Amino acid sequence: MSSEEEYRKRSLDQQIDTDFAEIFFMAKEEYDIENNSEEEQKLHDLLTEFKFKLKKKCKEHFETED
């Protein structure tokens, strides 16, 4: 993998983390989810699961790219 491809991969990974953190806090505010609540944990778990699935798909894409 070239340095440009590696940079793109790292940038994408970082952007996914940043965007999911933003989504988490926006959703908490929008749906009035209290800190340290069961709802907050469910939201966190849901977003974490989706984030890892997305990262896996991205990683598979980079591994199969010619």
Tens digit of each residue's pLDDT, the chain (66 residues): 678 888 888 898 899 999 999 999 999 999 999 999 999 999 999 999 999 999 899 888 877 755
Residue 62 contacts by C-beta under 8 Å, 6 or more apart in sequence?
Answer: 1, 5, 9
What is the domain count for the chain? 1
Domain enclosing residue 36, as ranges: 3-64
pLDDT for the residue 1: 62
| Helix (H) or strand (E) run with residue 21 in it | helix 3-30
> pLDDT at position 35, please?
97
Q: What is the pLDDT of residue 63?
A: 77
Q: Cα separation of 14 and 12, whole Å?
A: 5
